[in-house]
Every structure is written in C-alpha cells, then in structure tokens.
Amino acid sequence: MIPLPLNQLVKHLAKLPSLGPRSAQKVALHLLKSGDSMAQLQHIMQEVSEKVITCSNCGNIGLENPCHICTNEKRDKNILCIVEGVDDLWAVERSGAFKGFYHVLGGVVSALDGIGLEELNFNQLVKRFNTENFEEIIFALGASIDGQTTSHLISREIKQLYPNISISTLAKGMPMGADVDYMDEGTLSLALNGRQNF
C-alpha cells in the first residue's frame, strides 16, 4: 500500500532511537507533505555528515580534531570525566560545574550484548594516561548495573597502572525539587546511604 521509496524512508526512520514504526510513518508523511522540510533536511544532513567529526583523543564530536575541549588550555588538566556518550558530555558541560577534560566511552559494557572494554573507547583512554597527567577521574556513567560494572572494571584497570589516582563517581540520590514521598525505593535508599553532614 505504501509506495516503495516512502516505505524505505519509514523503515530507516523506525530504526532511530525513540521512533517506533507508527511514529516513523507520521514523520515520513509530515516530511512528504512539506516538500521544503525534506529538501532542507537533506541539505542539513549532508552538511552534518561532511563537517561533524569525532575527536580522536576524547571521542567528543565537533568541527575540529582534536576538539575544542581537548585544545582548551584554560581547562583543568588534572581531572578527567568519563562519560558514556557525547550527549552525557553535553549535559555535564551545561551544568557548568566541571572544568576538566572528558573521555567518551561510546557505550557501557554489557554481558547481554557481548560488549566488553575492548569494544569501547578504552584503549585510547589508557593511551591518554601515558601522555596526559591526570590526578583524578570522575565517572559520570548511568546508575544502571552495566554503568556501574563499567566504572568498576575501568577503575580496576587504571588503579593497577596508576595506584595513586583519585577515583570518584557522581553522587546518587534526590533530584532537585523532588518530594520524598514521590521517590522510588531504590533512589531513596541511595539518597539515604549517600547522606551528607548538614
């Protein structure tokens, strides 16, 4: 029923994160209806694929390699924040609370999907320790089991090579503006365990 080229577009869109087949169909029909959006999108996508590149040092994306963060002399050279993806790097940057450098792993280990440290941007991380002088690592990975396993495995490897390095992870607990009675048991239990002196 759906013309073949349109069906191919729907199939491709459906593979995108957060878009199932029905949403993909809606997006495809919307693009088809407004011919201008389709042409504009085509142009933008072309530009993104030509100009946006991955930093071979940290895994961030940008217009230059190394990226604008790796070449920023004003940042704190002693601290490295390890994140899962570029979107996590953006989130930490938006907080304005971190002025060190980053390393983007490109995922987390997953026994289910057969992803180990070798499949991540881990070898480059070890190389960086040989050439840069980090004194502290902060893990800003998700609070999932896989995220915690990844932090544990990497810190074990790094501690073996550099026993004096200081390693920490993001605090877990109450989000800003949250009500105690609306928090799930897991988060509340983490918040209680991570309580701070008042």
> Contact residues for Zn ion (CB under 5 A)?
55, 57-58, 60, 66-67, 70
Q: Which is nearer to Zn ion, 104 or 154 (CB)?
A: 104
Cα end-to-end span (Å), the chain:
65
Q: Which two tokens stand for residue 1?
A: 């029923």
Q: Tell me how far, at minimum, the Cβ of 60 lies from Zn ion, in Å.
A: 4
Q: Tell me how far, at minimum, the Cβ of 168 lies from Zn ion, in Å.
A: 22
User: Quick one: angle between helices 35-51 and 21-33, nearest 10?
Assistant: 110
For strand 101-104 and strand 79-83, is the pairing parallel, antiparallel, or unpaired? parallel
Q: Tell me how far, at minimum, the Cβ of 137 lies from Zn ion, in Å.
A: 16
Q: Tell me how far, at minimum, the Cβ of 117 lies from Zn ion, in Å.
A: 20
**Contacts for 111 with CB less than 8 Å, ≥ 6 apart:** none
**Contacts for 154 with CB less than 8 Å, ≥ 6 apart:** 82, 117, 122, 125, 139
Q: Which is nearer to Zn ion, 31 or 103 (CB)?
A: 103
Q: Tell me how far, at minimum, the Cβ of 68 lies from Zn ion, in Å.
A: 8
Q: Which is nearer to Zn ion, 110 or 121 (CB)?
A: 121
Q: Which is nearer to Zn ion, 10 or 67 (CB)?
A: 67
**Contacts for 67 with CB less than 8 Å, ≥ 6 apart:** 55, 57, 58, 60, 61
Helices (H) and strands (E) in the chain, counts: 7, 6
Q: Tell me how far, at minimum, the Cβ of 35 lies from Zn ion, in Å.
A: 38
Q: Which is nearer to Zn ion, 25 or 57 (CB)?
A: 57
Q: Which two tokens stand for residue 19?
A: 């878009």
Q: Which is nearer to Zn ion, 9 or 103 (CB)?
A: 103
Pick the closest to residue 54 from 71, 46, 66, 68 (CA basis). 66
